[in-house]
Amino acid sequence: MNMAERPRRLRTSQAMRELVSENHLHAENFILPVFVKEGLLAPEPIANMKGVFQHSLDSLRQEVESALKLGIGGVMIFAIPLERDEVGSQATNPEGILHRSVKMVREVVGDELVVIADLCLDEFTSHGHCGVLDEVGLVDNDATLEIYKVMAVQLASAGAHMLGTSGMMDGQVGAVRDALESAGFQETSILAYAAKYASAFYGPFRNAVDSQLKGNRKTYQQDPANSREAIREISLDVEQGADIIMVKPGMMYLDIVRQASDTFNLPIASYVISGEMAMVESAADAGAIDRKSAILEILLATKRAGATIVCTYWALEVASWLHED
């Protein structure tokens, strides 16, 4: 057979395949999520999150030093306080665990990597919701925004370069942007969890933050059935001053990542979440898949879908693989 078109010609060697490869993984584009728990003296493993720990302030420092050495782009800090209450008071305590962690991490890394603070109430409330509740027990959107604004200014002054607005309250990006501008933090950026779905795959994360949540977050996180709604949510965050837009979960919502990157001219981030990681780890443990190639494939697929930034618990390990190559 004489054939003009033989796509296999471009797959004949590793060098040839690399020559034509369209997407690459870079440690600089990874965000490493980290957990720190008030009162811990040593790191504690997290159920169903292999290789991920609740850190003490000391072990968090070591983790961040590793991230720095491996050239990771950013770290995103989640903190678990000792005391929780209805309104999440520790979220606005300038000496609280989140604030102290941000301060410490910023001192360690300076401007060498991007320090991102999670801006949400779920780790701080006794009921585990991302906002405060009204008299009938529903999440009170606008009352929550007032708390987010205080948190935003405090976390920026603690040294966060960027704030991750993950609570899915309406108007949260605008409220936070306005508070930051008014307080003189014009350069503090916002990583907007713009399209965040009410996912069953957050399970292990809820262990990671000792979540108190009963029920679900369906009145504020998005319905997995919808994609046009995601575009609406993202548009609103862009109008309100988001600097980066994030899609979450990542692995199962690559269609949303693709639509977002086709529609908006902001950097797109995708968060490969705890339950997605757990599925891969379990399948690898069972011998069903090759762990390393599965992880690389997932992260590359995220890039191919249009994400520049990948938020992943595998960031350190993958960065060390990239260095070995």
Q: Which residues bind ligand PBG (CB under 6 A)?
A: 120, 122, 130, 166, 202, 205, 217, 273-274
Considering beta carbons, is residue 58 or 279 the nearer one to ligand PBG? 279
In the bound state, the residue with its beta carbon closest to ligand PBG is 205
Instruction: Say whether 196 is catalytic.
Output: yes
Q: Give 159 or 249: the residue with its C-beta nearer to ligand PBG.
A: 249
309-311 and 74-80 beta bridge pairing: unpaired
Q: How far is the CB of 275 from ligand PBG (least distance, A)?
A: 6
Active site residue 149: no
Provide, rounded to whole angstroms, the least separation between the CB of residue 202 and ligand PBG: 4
Q: Please report how close the Cβ of residue 172 comes to ligand PBG at its closest, in angstroms.
A: 12
CB of 229 to ligand PBG, least distance (A): 17
At what angle are helices 315-324 and 57-69 packed, to 10 degrees? 30
CB-wise, 185 or 205, nearer to ligand PBG? 205
- Residue 172 CA to residue 169 CA, distance in Å, equals 6
C-alpha angle 202/261/217, rounded to 5°?
25
Q: What angle do CA 116, 120, 121 make, to 5 degrees?
A: 140
The full DSSP string for 246-261 is EEESSGGGHHHHHHHH
Computed on alpha carbons and rounded to an integer, the radius of gyration of the chain in Å comes to: 20
User: Taking a C-beta distance cutoff of 8 angstroms, is the pair 277, 318 a contact?
Assistant: no
| Catalytic residue of the set 103, 196, 214, 218 | 196
SS3 at position 217: coil
Active-site entry in 103, 149, 248, 303? 248
Where in the sequence numbering do the catalytic residues fall? 196, 248
